[in-house]
């Protein structure tokens, strides 16, 4: 079982999640789009460092502090199998178009996941599913009764598809796939409030039509 806490980072107040496996204390951070001193202190306080920096997709507001955080704690960067093209291209990750930002120094993920792959955080299994639409590299992470979905699914909405590699049909198929997951889950998006899969099945305008 994993405890989840959230902090808001970067210029777009991205939801950055700190995951802690209850049995072992193993920690991971999801989508560190900017530096958070509070987050760093929480990791240091735990006393066993950080196992992973997990990325849902490669936009600047989700990856902006990933390389630094991973190097600070010796953590492995984890992402979907297409994420490196974004991590190494400041046009695709969109940092090039924001004058208030420095270009993100190119880097590669240490662990690339294919659809359906799993890995362990402590004693908890985390499953990756590929959900393109917002970007070609977007994916979700499922564990316990939780889904961390980046910018694929929001409360009563979904991620925009008009940026490079976004695709309307891919988004429809990805939301259909999420809708068809059996049971209910807590849904933790990249921006905005958390929700549940059952609530979105009933209230998300696009998901209701699928």
Judged against a pLDDT cut of 70, whether residue 188 lies above it is answered with: yes
For residues 197 and 176, give the distance between their C-alpha atoms in angstroms, rounded to a whole number: 12
Closest CA to 139 of 192, 87, 72, 78: 78
| Confidence band for 100, pLDDT divided at 50, 70 and 90 | low
The answer to whether the CB of 26 falls within 8 A of the CB of 48 is yes
Q: What is the mean pLDDT of the chain?
A: 95
pLDDT of amino acid 102: 63
Tell me the two tokens of residue 133.
């639409």
pLDDT of amino acid 117: 98
The domains found in the chain, sorted by start residue, are 2-209 (3.60.15.10)
Name the pTM for this structure: 0.96
Q: How much is the CA Rg of the chain, to the nearest whole Å?
A: 16
For residues 125 and 138, give the distance between their C-alpha atoms in angstroms, rounded to a whole number: 20
């Amino acid at each position: 079982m994993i405890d989840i806490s959230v902090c808001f980072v970067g210029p777009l107040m991205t939801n950055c999640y700190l995951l802690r496996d209850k049995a072992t204390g193993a920690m991971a951070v999801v989508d560190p789009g900017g530096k958070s001193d509070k987050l760093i202190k929480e990791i240091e306080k735990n006393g066993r460092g950080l196992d992973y920096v997990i990325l849902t997709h490669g936009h600047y507001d989700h990856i902006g502090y990933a390389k630094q955080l991973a190097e600070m704690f010796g953590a492995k960067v984890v992402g979907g199998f297409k994420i490196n093209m974004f991590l190494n291209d400041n046009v695709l990750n969109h940092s090039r178009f924001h004058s208030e930002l420095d270009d993100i120094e190119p880097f590669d993920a240490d662990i690339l996941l294919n659809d359906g792959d799993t890995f362990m955080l402590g004693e908890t299994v985390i499953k990756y599913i590929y959900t393109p639409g917002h970007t070609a590299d977007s994916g979700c992470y499922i564990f316990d009764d939780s889904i961390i979905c980046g910018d694929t699914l929001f409360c009563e909405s979904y991620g925009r598809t008009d940026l490079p590699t976004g695709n309307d049909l891919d988004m429809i198929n990805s939301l259909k796939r999420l809708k068809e997951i059996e049971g209910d889950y807590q849904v933790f998006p990249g921006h905005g409030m958390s929700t549940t899969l059952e609530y979105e099945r009933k209230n998300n305008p696009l998901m209701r039509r699928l």
